[in-house]
Every structure is written in structure tokens, then in C-alpha cells.
Structure 1
Amino acid sequence: MTLNINRRGFLAGTAGLIALHPFSAHAAGNQAHLRIMETTDLHVHVFPYDYYADKPRDTVGLARTASLIKGIRDEATNSLLIDNGDFLQGNPMGDFIAYERGMKDGDMHPIIQAMNTLGFDASTLGNHEFNYGLDFLMKSLAGANFPVVSANIALEMGSDPTKDKTLLPPYVIMDHKVTDGEGVEHDIKVGLIGFVPPQVMNWDRRHLEGKVQARDIIETAKAYIPQMKEAGADIIVALSHSGIGAADHSEGMENAAVPLAGVDGVDAILTGHSHLVFPSPGYADFAGADVDAGTLMGTPATMGGFWGSHMGLIDLLVEKEGGAWRVVSAVSEARPISKRNEDRSITALVESDEAVLASAQKEHDETLAYVRRAVGKTDAPLHSYFALVADDPSVQIVSIAQLWYIEQMMKGTEHEGLPILSAAAPFKAGGRGGPEYYTDVPKGDVAIKNVADLYLYPNTARAVRVTGQQVKDWLERSAGIFNQIEPGAQDAPLLDASFPSYNFDVIDGVSYQIDLSQPSKYDPKGVLVNVDASRIVNLEYNGAPLEMDAEFIIATNNYRAGGGGDFPGASPDTTVFEGPDTNRDVIVRYIVEKGTISPRADANWTFKPMPGTTVLFDTGPAARAYAADVPGVSIEEAGEGNDGFVRFRISL
């Protein structure tokens, strides 16, 4: 008997709670149901807590994912629990352990302790495991009660991957027992092999250069998988801390899950790294991906989100014939721990597992104290009350930190030596958020949780390579936030309320003026509407007019580089660096390294003078304390605005 059940048919027929998975309920005497559970990209999120915002969060946490495990195990006669990497770094708890407490021989890392509590069967390394150095990594892994495998990171390379001296075992073959449809127990050997993007050699060069080397994922898989078969592996599962990207293999590719799934001998593949979910509609148009079947290149696959948001599941019906096991049917899914409602509120679908919380309670409490205390100082206030009308300290510190980071990341690449600019936008700038919705960090101590006030979103760092013309058009797109102003107008409204502040990018590293008398080149959605319009004037680099055919690197984030906001020059095609670090982490590291930051705005952009012309804009009442120090702008209070805002007048 062979069960042929696709993912859509299975989920439709088993909505709600089920007592037993169909593979377990209907397996024949020579068949067994093997369920593989995956967590991926946990990033030290044990607790359902946002340490930056300093409040609970129902969308994250291994303690929540853990509550799914018992029920998932009860649905299957046989199961394995596997982590797919990126567990050691990624939130303030990880930084606290690495930078404050440290790891001595015999210490237990809280994420490892939580994984031990849940009885994980195995894990692989993600790229972020290397962020704190090899010594920290190995001391952390020493506490694991489960094997950790990684095939393509070598201490010494041989003539082919199988001759490498690897940092960790490249694979493990687990002697597992499965119970068939008649209740008879069988031995089955499950092979697990792990992979990490070879880009770690660039991302963590300072920790890894001269110590390890990285091989191409597909090259490594093709070498080791036959060896695993020869060693007796009945079923091989690839632990791919690599995203779902192109179907065709290219040397050294970062997101290699699709061609890896097509390597002969791979029976199932766990993916991650991208912080996305598979199967999901977002992958419907990807070559080699079948969302309905839950497969990549015909191989069952899953990706369980990030930070514990989902539990990835692959159900295999395996059959023994002639002394050998083979997969005869499979179903994949990803189960969430929460759901987003139509009103954008969040409903938790599970409660926390108390044993997992208890395993890391001490470190959680210590982390709370850590995020609430100063990690550096600012010698000027960090506020966004005037971020839409003048060069602004809250935007500038983000821009400076990005520039500092990307300068390091460009070293040793083909892009080294190109001038680097940095683009950043204000996130908290009033609007629908109300008159209190502004960044406001006073002069003095800066705590880690203050960084959330500077940078709201968990974006990751990116760099794009653009021309001078694209720099200008990028700024033209940003300048669409302003209404066109007639010369000589009195108290004209300055801002287009339909234009979101997060699309008002300021670019540091160049200087420029915005001519409000001109129409906008782009509409609020980024559509080109006035081909010949030019609001950006006197655009200079290093004191000279910026050349339109010159090339630049712009430091930005994954949203912008991925095409978010439709900015000229910002696209996957121009992206030359995809960082493993969030922009928040970059800002924290910058503050820690500098000790005291000086985020004074330098007025690198201003409005072109329009004598006799005044405009109005609204901001939060607390702006009054800073109005006298706005650079490059003649500003005065002009009464009360609407809905609790205060109004200011700018003389152009």
C-alpha cells in the first residue's frame, strides 16, 4: 500500500486537532511514519519577549514553539526534533552572554539549555553561530546533549570535501527505531548532514580568516552523500541553513536549498536563513518549488519561519522493501504559534512551555537588566521631531552606523575603494502614530532598548552599487514627500500626508538642496510622473558636483534593497552585499565600540532658498525644547496643530 497525499489535500482533511496522522493511522506492516520537526533561525529567542521594546511578544519564542511539540509528537508514531541553525546570536540575550557573561569551559548557554530541555535530536550551524568567534562557539556547543553537524566548514581542506578536516562532524547517522503499521519495531538509520552559506568567510572574516575555510554547498553535498549511503544511511535529511533561491546551481551560492534538494540521495530538506515560511504562497513562482506539494525539486521540504514563529514539519511515509527503506509519500507544512487578525492584532495560538522558560529564567532576568542599562552615551539628544524638514540626529546616527558597518564589509571585495554613502529614513515621525510618536532619547546614557526607538524594524543590512544618476533619482524619489510650493506663498502646507515617513530617505556622504518650487519627479508610490522634473539641486560629493556616471555603494536595509518603496537604484539586481546582521544590531555594536556617540546633524541637506516664502508643518509638542537648534532652517512656532500636534513655520 502506498499513500499518495498532497499537502493541500492533507491539510483540508485534517483541519483542527487530529488524534493520529494518516501516515501513522494507515501505514502497512512494512511501512512506518517518520515525522521530522524543524526549528530554524531561533536567534536566542527562548522567551516570547521583545528585549528592544522591553515587552512580551506573542509571535516569537522557543518556549511557545515548544508547546506545539507534544501534540505534534502525539500525532506520529515516530519523530525527530531538529534545529536548522542560527541559534546563538540575534537578540540582546545572545549579546549579553557573549559580551557580558562570556562562556567558560563548562558554562551552559541558555539556548542550548532550552534545546536540551526539549530533547532535540540534532542541529546544524547557521552563519550567525560564528558572530562571536570560534572559541565562543565551541564552548557553547560543548553543552549540547545532541550532535551538531556542518559539512562545508573546514579547518583544513583536502583534495575533495570528504578529505577535509571539518570544524564539526560533517554528518551523523542516527540509529533510530520506528514502529510500523502493525506495531512492529524496526531499526532505521537516519543520516543528517548540515550546510551553511560559504559567505560566512566574508561576513565574519575577522573571526574566521586564517582559521577555517568554506566550501560550496552543492560540491560538498555531492561528495558526502554517497559516503553516507555507503555507511548505511537509509534516509538522508539535509539540514540546509540556506534559503530558497535560484534553481540552477552557481559556485558559492548563498541560497542553495533548491539545487541541494535536487542532489541525488537527499530524501528531505530543512531550509532556513531567509526568515520566511515554506510551504507558503510566497514561493509559488519559484523555479523548482511546488507549494501545494511542499517540495523543492520533488523533495519534501520545510522552512519554519524565524525566532520560533513556526514549527516546520515533514511527514515521511517510509517503506521497507528488500531490506532497504525508501520514502513512498510525504507531506510538508509549517505550523504557526500565532495568527494576525484582520485588524492587525495578534492572537497567540499556544502558551509557553514552563520547563523551557525555567531553563533560561536566570539569563532572561539578567538580559532585562542588561537592556535597561547604558551601553554607551550620546553627547547630544536623539530625536526625530524635525526629521522631515531638516537634517536630523536620530536619522544620522542610523546612517553613520550603517556606513561604519558597510565600510568593514566591503574590505577585501571587488567593491573596495568605491565611495560609500548611507541612506536612512525616520520611522517615528508623528503622522497616524500621533503627537507622541517620535524618537526622543535625551543626552546622556543610551540603553540597548533605546535602539528600538531609533530603528523600529528588524531589517537586515544591505549595500547596493549605483551610479551618480541613481543617487540623484533616489533623492528625487525621497523629495516626493514635499508639496510643490509657489514662490512667495505664505504658510503653505509643506508635507504630503499620503507619503510615509519611512520612504523619506536622507543620504549621508553627499550634500544637496531640495527645490520646493519644482514638481515632484515621482508620485508617493514611486511612479515616475514628471520625467524632466528636478528638485535635487547643488548635489555634491567631496565639495564638487556629483558626476552622474560615477559609481557608489549605498548602505541601506533589506526592505529598500529588495525594492521596497520603488527607489531608483535599489533592487536585488544592484545589491552587492546582503548582511547577516540586523540594522539594530549594527547600531548597538557601533555605540558599544564608540562609547560616546556624537549624532549632531551636519545639515548636509537643506531647502533651496525661496525668499518671501513660508511653509507650515506639524510635529509633537515636545519639539518645542529642540526648535532653537534645528540646523539649516529658520523656524518658529505657529500655534496649535490638529489632534494634539504643534505647528511650526519655516521661512524659506
Structure 2
Amino acid sequence: MVKGSKVKITILETSDIHGNILSINYGNNEKRELGLCRISTLIKKEIEKNSNRILIDNGDLIQGTPITYYYARIDSEKENPVIKVLNYLNYDAAVIGNHEFNYGDNILKKVIKQSSFPWLSANIIQEDTGREYTGKAYIVKEFEEGIKAGILGLTTKYIPNWENPNHIKGLKFQDPVEYAKKWVKILREVEKVDLVIVCYHGGIERNIDTGKPIENLTGENQGYELCKKVDGIDILLTGHQHRLISGKKINNVIVLQPGSQGQNLGKVEITLEKTLDRWKICDENCELLSVEGVIEDENVIKLVKEYEDKTQAWLDKPIGKIKGDMTVKDPMEVRIKDNPLIEFINKVQMEYSGADISNTALFSNQSPGFPSDVTMRDIVSNYIYPNTLKVIRIKGRDIKEALERSASYFEKYKGGEIKVNSKFCAPKPQHYNYDMWEGIDYVINISKDIGERVVKLEYKGKPLDMEKEYEVVMNNYRAGGGGEYTMFQDNEVVKEITTDVSELIANYILERGTIEATVNNNWKVIYD
């Protein structure tokens, strides 16, 4: 090849698909602009433009929707539906994410076997053999003119802090930075690749522009550190955080993260130019391609029709009964005094976490509650987010501060109807940022000024100790400070339950058959 020749390569990334194949909301079967069926259309268009392509999934692929739950827990005889789609799209590789382990080792091994592409993870090691769990740390893909691209897979090392120990028995989760140093060197010096792409199921732990930490540096996310400490990386494909990152560089490394649920396809376009002795990047473009307005691929819909039909039938099959009333008639009423639905969700969180204090929210004013005969569709209609749980250790003053934040949901009462603070309504509704608690007794007086509304706060019959530490279970969004609950940030995570809360609720009902709607009236909202 003569000096000055150029070759363009397109790298396409999906990440954190979480089982979203079809463009629907399983709570009501309404259309949503997301999913692999729309991503497929985008992928095909990009391949038409440039046949020199690399197509990677960056993890958290096989868990997260009723169709994947039904497959894993009820009918896993056939090929996994998500893998069936990726095989159809001719993916080059996938990376192990933390949620790949949620259904257990048997399901994951079956997924790996069914895939027509390799699964990569250089830093998940089998204790007995010392080999990579998936059998592969990297792949090398060759293009025209002999250009070679090395693709290295890495996984967040933080998985043992979340996952069921039985699901990861015999595995060691090593430091991705140290393993990247080893394998990038091999790719450069042994494989003689011209382009190094690191696919890391983990996120960016620091502000990309300033380098300041944006989270407690536990090692869950080490993308910034990878770029700073590992020589020889050209592109870092990230995930795990569900962020939208494009057009950014860290230490001259191109960084990409395409969000979640198949709402965007990540794209990096690289042009390599031949110099005297090697190929060198001379041009680059990094962007996120939204599926908004993109037509669904009918072939993908047909591929999973049998699975979807069975899932829909299962969603409408009763899984248990409610004795009493757990329906939602008035969302405001649910938020001003203890309610059977909220108390039940808090009980579930406490049961599976072992914590004796819990908080949760009524996420939407459209939440219907549970009818007397509960189906899975009822569960996903009420618990609408793919949250997991964290138990964090916080002080009594943090609990009080969080209650004051929740109490700001209401406008100061001056007579008439109770009204919602406009800050919780615009620019978008934020009803999910008002929490209700179990395991403590409290009273909120909305006639008082914001910040001074918690007029009673007790734990086991005594005033809550502001300096004592308590273990509290809440969803992962809230535990990270989401919704301006900054008092929860950077606290010790005692335990993480990585199964979706909707699955925990379903399991709780299935195990017991009949659930009694109860209210212990541990909290209320009052006014003068």
C-alpha cells in the first residue's frame, strides 16, 4: 500500500440494552422509541454506507424486560431471544456486563454458547484455571489493505458488591486498568494491530473536562483512569452508567457511551492514513444516532414473535391475590398518608435487603395500584423503572434532611386544596422524587416553611438520633443522589441487590400467593 492511502472504518456500539428488543412499554403495550428493532434499522443503514465496520455490544444485554425474564425463568429451552437478534445482525463481539450474571451461571453459559460471536472480558478470571471466564480477552478484525483492529473487552470489577454469590462462584473480578495494560501491550506488540478499541462495561468516574471526581471512587467506574494510565488506546467504548457521551476525549482517547434501552446507537468513524511504516488516524467523527422516528425492522419483530406471544400471555396471567384494597384512586391521597401499596413495596425492599428502614415513591400519577388478582403487567405498570436496590449507611440527620427534601414536594399550605410545588411539575413531572418511608415514624406539617416541616421523627418509639448511623434500603437512583437527594451521595454501600425491583415484587407475591393490604400509619402529612 502506498503512502497517503486512506481507509475508513466505522465502529458501532450498543450498550445497556437491558432486554429491550421491541419498541413497547410492557406496562400498557404502548409504543416507545427504543429497542433493538429500531437499532437494527440504523445498523443496516450504517453498513450500507461503509462495509468496513465493527459492531459491538458493551454489556447488560440479556436482562431487564418481561420477555427476557420469561425466557430465563420460565421457558429457556430455545435460543435466547436477544441473542437471536444479535446473531441476525452479525455482531462482532459482546462484553460481559454486571447484569449478565443476574439469571445465574447456567443461563449465561447458554447465552455464550448460542452466540455466533465471542463474548469478551479480559479481567473476569476463573479461579481454578486462571483463564478468562469467556475464554477470550480480545479479538482482532482485519480490513482491506491489511489493516488490523484489536478489540479488548473489560468489565467493572465491582460485581461482587452486587451479585448473588452463587452466580459468580469461582470467579475473580480483577482490576481492569492493570489487565488493560497487559492486553493493550499484547495487541500492539504481538498482534501488531493498527487500531486499539477497548470495550469497557463501566463508566467515567470523573468530569471529562476537569478531571474532578463525579462519584465516590470505589472502582465501579474506571473509564477516566483507563484513558490516563493505559498507553496505546485509541477508542474507549463505555457503558454501565446509562449516560450519553460523544464528541469527548480523555488523554487523546475517543470516548463513547450510548445511553440505555436501545435509544441510541453509538458511532465512531475513523479514517486511517498510510505513513511510511504504519497506519495513523488522520480523521475521526464520534456521534450518537437516535432511534427517534426510526422505522422498526420487521425481521426483528418476526424473529421474536413466538417469545413475545408467550410473554404477553404470561403478563396477563394472575400470579397472586390481594386481600383488601391496594388500588390507587387519588395519587395525592397516597402521598399525604400511609397507603397499602407504598407500605407493601417498602416491605418487599426490606425483606430482600435485610434493612429495617426503607423508602420508595409512587412514580407516576398514572400508577393504578394492584387489583385483587395481580398480574405481572400490574407490577410493571406500577413499578415502571428498571431500578435495583442499595442499602446505604447514613446518619439520622441525613434521614431528616431527606424527609425535608420530600416535604418540599408540597406548596406551603394556605387553605383549600393541597398543591404540588411547581418545581416538581416543570419542566417535567417529578412525582418520583417524593419518597415515603417505612421503619420510622414521622409527621410532615406543610403549613410550615420548606426545610422546617418534619415535626416528628422517631425510630422504634424514640426520637431519631441525628448522629447515629442507620442502614436504609432505597433504589439505586435515589442512593446515588438522584432527585437532589445529595445527602445520600458518597455514603457507604452496605449491600446491593441487583435484581430489578419489579422482579423482587413478583417473586414476593409468587412465594406467598395472597398478600394482605395493610397500613400501620407510621407517617402522615398534616397542616394547621
Q: Shorter-chain-normalised TM-score: which range?
A: 0.7 to 0.9
CA distance in 1, matches of 2:297, 2:27: 23
Q: Which of 83, 91, 107 is the equivalent residue of 1:120?
A: 91
CA distance in 1, matches of 2:250, 2:188: 21
Q: Which of 406, 419, 423 is the equivalent residue of 2:353?
A: 406
Q: Which of 158, 164, 175 is the equivalent residue of 1:216?
A: 175
1:188 paired with 2:147, answer: yes
Could you tell me whether the CA contact under 8 Å between 1:123 and 1:149 is conserved in 2? yes
Question: 1:64, CA displacement in angstroms?
Answer: 0.4
Could you tell me whether the CA contact under 8 Å between 1:398 and 1:454 is conserved in 2? no
CA 1:498 to 1:153, structure 2 compared with 1: closer, same or farther past 3 Å? same
Aligned partner of 2:198 in structure 1 is 238
CA 1:120 to 1:566, structure 2 compared with 1: closer, same or farther past 3 Å? closer
**CA offsets per residue over residues 8-50 of structure 1, 9 Å max, x none?**
xxxxxxxxxxxxxxxxxxx985321111111111112111122
Could you tell me whether the CA contact under 8 Å between 2:162 and 2:495 is conserved in 1? no
Question: 1:248, CA displacement in angstroms?
Answer: 8.4
Question: 1:337, CA displacement in angstroms?
Answer: 0.4
Question: 1:225, CA displacement in angstroms?
Answer: 1.7
- The one-letter code matched in structure 1 to 2:361 is A
Question: 1:320, CA displacement in angstroms?
Answer: 3.4
Question: 1:137, CA displacement in angstroms?
Answer: 0.4
Question: 1:221, CA displacement in angstroms?
Answer: 0.8
Could you tell me whether the CA contact under 8 Å between 1:379 and 1:599 is conserved in 2? yes
- The one-letter code matched in structure 1 to 2:37 is A
- The one-letter code matched in structure 2 to 1:243 is G
Task: Report the more deviating stretch, 87-96 or 464-473.
Answer: 464-473
Could you tell me whether the CA contact under 8 Å between 1:195 and 1:241 is conserved in 2? yes
Q: Which of 514, 536, 558 is the equivalent residue of 2:455?
A: 536
CA distance in 1, matches of 2:336, 2:164: 40
Could you tell me whether the CA contact under 8 Å between 1:173 and 1:189 is conserved in 2? no
Partner SS for 2:156: coil
CA 1:358 to 1:223, structure 2 compared with 1: closer, same or farther past 3 Å? same
Aligned partner of 2:55 in structure 1 is 81
The aligned runs of 1:573-612 (5 Å cut-off) are 580-606=498-524
CA distance in 2, matches of 1:587, 1:505: 18
Q: Which of 124, 135, 138 is the equivalent residue of 1:172?
A: 138
CA 1:197 to 1:378, structure 2 compared with 1: closer, same or farther past 3 Å? farther
Q: Which of 118, 121, 138 is the equivalent residue of 2:109?
A: 138
Q: Which of 199, 216, 224 is the equivalent residue of 1:258?
A: 224
Could you tell me whether the CA contact under 8 Å between 2:335 and 2:436 is conserved in 1? no
Could you tell me whether the CA contact under 8 Å between 2:205 and 2:217 is conserved in 1? no
Q: Which of 268, 272, 276 is the equivalent residue of 2:235?
A: 268
Aligned partner of 1:49 in structure 2 is 24
Question: 1:582, CA displacement in angstroms?
Answer: 4.0
Question: 1:101, CA displacement in angstroms?
Answer: 0.3
Partner SS for 1:223: helix
CA 1:334 to 1:481, structure 2 compared with 1: closer, same or farther past 3 Å? closer
> Which of 1 and 2 has higher RCO (CA within 8 Å, sep 6+)?
2
CA distance in 2, matches of 1:49, 1:316: 34
In structure 2, list runs of 5 or more residues that go unmatched.
425-430
- The one-letter code matched in structure 1 to 2:437 is I
Partner SS for 2:320: strand
Could you tell me whether the CA contact under 8 Å between 1:422 and 1:509 is conserved in 2? yes
Aligned partner of 1:495 in structure 2 is 418
CA distance in 2, matches of 1:239, 1:568: 31
The aligned runs of 1:114-513 (5 Å cut-off) are 114-156=85-127, 164-178=130-144, 186-234=145-193, 235-246=195-206, 253-262=219-228, 263-279=230-246, 291=247, 294-338=248-292, 348=293, 350-384=294-328, 385=330, 386-407=333-354, 420-429=356-365, 437-443=366-372, 445-481=373-409, 492-493=415-416, 495-498=418-421, 500=424, 501-513=431-443
Task: Report the more deviating stretch, 262-271 or 243-252.
Answer: 243-252
CA 1:78 to 1:503, structure 2 compared with 1: closer, same or farther past 3 Å? closer
- The one-letter code matched in structure 2 to 1:261 is C
Could you tell me whether the CA contact under 8 Å between 1:48 and 1:56 is conserved in 2? yes
Question: 1:377, CA displacement in angstroms?
Answer: 3.0
CA distance in 2, matches of 1:200, 1:549: 31
CA 1:547 to 1:568, structure 2 compared with 1: closer, same or farther past 3 Å? farther
CA distance in 2, matches of 1:75, 1:209: 41
- The one-letter code matched in structure 2 to 1:81 is L
In structure 1, list runs of 5 or more residues that go unmatched.
1-26, 159-163, 179-185, 280-290, 339-347, 408-418, 430-436, 487-491, 523-527, 614-652
Could you tell me whether the CA contact under 8 Å between 1:152 and 1:170 is conserved in 2? no
Partner SS for 1:137: helix
Question: 1:206, CA displacement in angstroms?
Answer: 2.8
CA 1:222 to 1:389, structure 2 compared with 1: closer, same or farther past 3 Å? same
Question: 1:392, CA displacement in angstroms?
Answer: 0.5
Task: Report the more deviating stretch, 586-595 or 83-92.
Answer: 586-595
Question: 1:252, CA displacement in angstroms?
Answer: 6.1
CA distance in 2, matches of 1:483, 1:71: 50
CA distance in 2, matches of 1:82, 1:567: 35
Partner SS for 1:396: helix
CA 1:78 to 1:600, structure 2 compared with 1: closer, same or farther past 3 Å? same
- The one-letter code matched in structure 2 to 1:271 is T
Greater C-alpha Rg: 1
**CA offsets per residue over residues 571-591 of structure 1, 9 Å max, x none?**
356766676444434433433
**CA offsets per residue over residues 366-417 of structure 1, 9 Å max, x none?**
111122222333333322333123210121222222223433xxxxxxxxxx
CA 1:566 to 1:119, structure 2 compared with 1: closer, same or farther past 3 Å? closer
CA 1:381 to 1:77, structure 2 compared with 1: closer, same or farther past 3 Å? same
Could you tell me whether the CA contact under 8 Å between 1:460 and 1:582 is conserved in 2? yes
How many residues matched? 509
CA distance in 1, matches of 2:353, 2:127: 29
CA 1:390 to 1:39, structure 2 compared with 1: closer, same or farther past 3 Å? same
Could you tell me whether the CA contact under 8 Å between 2:338 and 2:523 is conserved in 1? yes
- The one-letter code matched in structure 2 to 1:426 is L
CA 1:273 to 1:502, structure 2 compared with 1: closer, same or farther past 3 Å? closer
CA distance in 2, matches of 1:473, 1:453: 30
Question: 1:65, CA displacement in angstroms?
Answer: 0.6
CA distance in 1, matches of 2:150, 2:16: 22
Could you tell me whether the CA contact under 8 Å between 1:171 and 1:194 is conserved in 2? yes
CA 1:329 to 1:438, structure 2 compared with 1: closer, same or farther past 3 Å? closer
- The one-letter code matched in structure 2 to 1:452 is V
Q: CA RMSD in A?
A: 2.8
Question: 1:459, CA displacement in angstroms?
Answer: 4.0
Question: 1:138, CA displacement in angstroms?
Answer: 0.7
The aligned runs of 1:550-629 (5 Å cut-off) are 550-567=468-485, 569-572=487-490, 580-606=498-524
TM-score, normalization by structure 2: 0.88
CA distance in 1, matches of 2:385, 2:139: 40
CA distance in 2, matches of 1:382, 1:420: 22
TM-score, normalization by structure 1: 0.72
